[in-house]
Chain A
Amino acid sequence: MSKHAPHPDLVLTTSPFIKDPTDTRWIMWQVNLALVPVTFAALWYYGLGTLLILSTAILGAAGSEAFLQRRVRNLPGGLNDGSAVLTGWLLGLTLPPSIPLWMAFAGGVISIGLGKAIFGGIGGNMFNPALVGRAFLQAAFPVAMTTWPAIETADRFTSAPATLFAPPFLTPAVDAISSATPLARMAFDQVQTATPDLLLGATTGSLGEASAALILLAGIYLAVRRVLNWRIPVAILGSAFAFGGILYLTNPEVYPTPEFHLFAGGLMLGAVFMATDPVSSPLTQKGCWIFGVGIGVLVVLIRQFGGLPEGVMYAILFMNAATPLIDRLTQARTFGSDRAERFTR
């Protein structure tokens, strides 16, 4: 080897030369992992149908991701990063236990196609993709999306609800023994469900509403592993509790207790798993507080004064839309400057 030649084995790159091992794939699969206990709870309360609905929704989402990866040039992402599976899984958990499977599949396709791919794939979506899919289903199939079968039926481990297998675009057979969710009972009949039932999941609702306690535990796990920003769920739950509490104090006859708001419906699932999607939530810490408080207040507003019994989905989608603005307004002050400068452009 000549004295002045470069050494042939040496690679020239620039610093840093060490790297935190955490990568995007690990983060996404951690969230998937955290969904396992909640899924088991759903399985317990709603039976076999749970597995069918979740796997169909995942198939719709992951299948679309794989298809678009092959067809669209330079679309970042792919099945390896776990985000498409996560989208399908989360979507599935927001669906009623009696949803026809073809709708769950269509929801998965819309989640990835309209919720993610048209924004340029992973990292580009403005809105939580799973909620985009759910919003589509809510608009297209309002009846199927608000029909809730009874829970803990005796035959739940041996057969799935017949409505699951309804063929596309024919009116699904509405289950004769459908029942109302705690939120619907609150909104339309002013009847409250006991908090322990809500916590454990012994109530009617979407699959993921099976156990608020397990979702909370999963959230703590993800926060400890620094996969999600704890500020967002804390802000959502805190503000929903505070706002719900104020209403309750003004008139306990009409308004439910604040803890009812926390544990009923999709708030826990939304606060822990949906609002914390990093792509569609703010980048600044201050922004995350604002984002979370916005969601918490909107949820209670919609539940109490809106036309729908539940408002978690719209609250999150609305704050997703506000995220770029929140980011701009909450840009941190740089080190050694007096205050955050507002942007001129």
Chain B
Amino acid sequence: MSAPSRIQMGKSFRHGIHPDDYKHLTRELAIERMPMPERVILPLSQHLGKPSEPLVEKGQKVFRGELIARSGGFVSSPLHASVTGTVTGIELRHHASGNMVEAIEIETDRSSPQALFAERRIDWHDMEPAEIIRLIGEGGFVGLGGAAFPTHVKLTIPEGKTARFFIVNAAECEPYLNSDFRILLERREAIVEGIRVYMKALGAEKAYIGIEANKDDAAQKLEAILPDDLACEIIVLETKYPQGAEKMLIDAVFHREVPSGKLPIDVETVVNNVGTVAGVGELFLFGQPLIERIVTVTGPGIGRPANLLMPIGTMLRDVIAHCDGMSDDTRQILFGGPMMGAAQRFLDVPIMKGTSGVLFLTEDQVVHREEYPCIRCQRCVDACPVFLNPSRLGSLAKSRLYEDMLDYHIMDCMECAACSFVCPSNIPLVQRFRVAKGLLREQQQREREKAKEAAA
């Protein structure tokens, strides 16, 4: 007698878009370990929150996995050496955000075997949840899906709230990217260990793994090794962008909307990226902090597409060299996927904890936008996963009526870019919304400060 299937099919959220997924370029390529680069650059700010504070000095020898910068506060994350070598500088370096950010540079010791600083298995079964969360925080874990939100903060449940459900986010809805897919296929034991650790830390009663239908082969293989005692179900989701957005994923799994302005925990749920979950699993299986990650290197401009396991801090130029160079007609290099990623101009920017992919787009793929007036075709209204009216918001933004945009709930916009993707008139909607949201946030900040001054 076969066990009942633990896979539920075909769930989704409402609205959204169906871009071509371009995943075939790297889908079947097994994770390949990239040789240690000559040097790595580790920005002190590669997570959401306060920058880390360096604990090492120039000239100091460090070991792979050793702590080199401590957390700068609660919403922050420590940093570990991703190679064994010598610190050659702590200075401002180019950062994927486009800014210059303080970073620790380590020159790799070519003679070192690059063994892990403190390899050990950590038995968490008898630990208190708080102790597990502390270890995850000390391991430098942040969301590997792109947002890089510190994991220990997510796992710390506020007073009076409970986390009954834990969702592993393996939707990977961004086109081109396959790092999560390869992890699903090749890091299954670590995922299972990670889920157990998370459930213990959260006190969760049930876990779900959300996987888009274009990866249902991975869902089958994962189901085959799910232990019977693990309260976990696999949800195969419709392939639709932005299925991997936390609120969309929760809506798909539970048909429940996270209230506007609230967090998943307000519906008793915590969501974490599958790469992070596998990484946490590896932390407890053999003591490895977050010092390396799997990066999909892809796109028509790169010589040899690959899914690479590389040390955090590997420079873009080293990635290009390892993948047989880029073509002369490459015009854009993106960190992350094509919907929410960021374009790069400097080849010495480092891969960071949140860099899920490096995408090389050629001349013929660069989007040339000739803006046309809005013809109110409703495509953006139908695409917006949070039911906003991007057409209206766009015309308000163009007229700089930013405060009026609040009435149209601009602050609920999560900048998924679905509206800009579908707009037949090439109106840079999400680009304008980012500007508007930034200005409105600044204004709210100023008003808060003024109110504080008045009260004092």
- The answer on a CB contact under 8 Å between B19 and A76 is no
Complex Cα–Cα for A81 and B369 (A): 15
Q: Which residues of B contact A128 (CB under 8 A)?
A: none
- The answer on a CB contact under 8 Å between B343 and A12 is yes
The residues in B between 244 and 297 inclusive whose CB is less than 8 angstroms from any CB of A are 247, 251, 257-262
Stretch of B124-132, B230-238, B370-378 lying at the A interface? B370-378
Q: Is A307 positioned at the interface, with any CB of B under 8 Å from its CB?
A: no
Complex Cα–Cα for A171 and B316 (A): 79
Could you tell me the distance in whole angstroms from the C-beta of B409 to the nearest C-beta in chain A?
A: 5
Q: Which residues of B contact A26 (CB under 8 A)?
A: 424
- Further contacts, 7 of them, CB under 8 A, given A22-B379, A283-B391, A344-B407: A13-B366, A14-B428, A15-B340, A18-B20, A229-B378, A278-B376, A335-B251
A-contact bits for B392-427, CB 8 A (1 contact / 0 none) = 100000000000100111001000010011101110
Q: Which residues of A contact B375 (CB under 8 A)?
A: 24, 27, 122-123, 278-279
- Report which of A13, A23, A345 forms a contact with B424, defined as CB distance below 8 A: A23
- The answer on a CB contact under 8 Å between B260 and A337 is yes
Q: Which residues of A contact B175 (CB under 8 A)?
A: 18
Residue of A nearest to B260 (CB): A336
Q: Which residues of B contact A123 (CB under 8 A)?
A: 372-376, 425
- The answer on a CB contact under 8 Å between B19 and A334 is no
- The answer on a CB contact under 8 Å between A10 and B345 is yes
- The answer on a CB contact under 8 Å between B94 and A4 is yes
Could you tell me the distance in whole angstroms from the C-beta of A32 to the nearest C-beta in chain B?
A: 15
Complex Cα–Cα for A34 and B362 (A): 36
- The answer on a CB contact under 8 Å between B19 and A20 is yes
Could you tell me the distance in whole angstroms from the C-beta of A277 to the nearest C-beta in chain B?
A: 9
- Report which of A13, A23, A278, A337 forms a contact with B332, defined as CB distance below 8 A: A13
A-B contact pairs, 28 of them (CB 8 A): A9-B330, A10-B331, A11-B332, A15-B417, A16-B367, A17-B332, A17-B367, A19-B369, A19-B426, A20-B424, A23-B425, A27-B375, A27-B424, A120-B373, A122-B372, A123-B372, A278-B375, A278-B377, A278-B378, A283-B381, A284-B381, A331-B389, A334-B386, A334-B387, A335-B387, A336-B258, A343-B407, A344-B407
Q: Is A71 positioned at the interface, with any CB of B under 8 Å from its CB?
A: no
Q: Which residues of B contact A327 (CB under 8 A)?
A: 392
Main DSSP-derived SS at the B contact region: loop
Could you tell me the distance in whole angstroms from the C-beta of B208 to the nearest C-beta in chain A?
A: 20
Q: Is B209 positioned at the interface, with any CB of A under 8 Å from its CB?
A: no
Complex Cα–Cα for A81 and B379 (A): 18
Q: Which residues of A contact B185 (CB under 8 A)?
A: none
Residue of B nearest to A328 (CB): B392
Q: Is A225 positioned at the interface, with any CB of B under 8 Å from its CB?
A: no
- The answer on a CB contact under 8 Å between B387 and A17 is no
Complex Cα–Cα for A124 and B385 (A): 27
B-contact bits for A163-196, CB 8 A (1 contact / 0 none) = 0000000000000000000000000000000000
Q: Which residues of B contact A3 (CB under 8 A)?
A: 348
Q: Which residues of B contact A334 (CB under 8 A)?
A: 260, 386-388, 409, 412
Q: Which residues of B contact A6 (CB under 8 A)?
A: 345-346
- The answer on a CB contact under 8 Å between A335 and B367 is no
- The answer on a CB contact under 8 Å between B404 and A345 is yes
Q: Which residues of A contact B330 (CB under 8 A)?
A: 9-10
Q: Is A70 positioned at the interface, with any CB of B under 8 Å from its CB?
A: no
- The answer on a CB contact under 8 Å between A20 and B422 is yes
- The answer on a CB contact under 8 Å between A18 and B373 is no
Q: Which residues of A contact B361 (CB under 8 A)?
A: 17
Q: Is B219 positioned at the interface, with any CB of A under 8 Å from its CB?
A: no
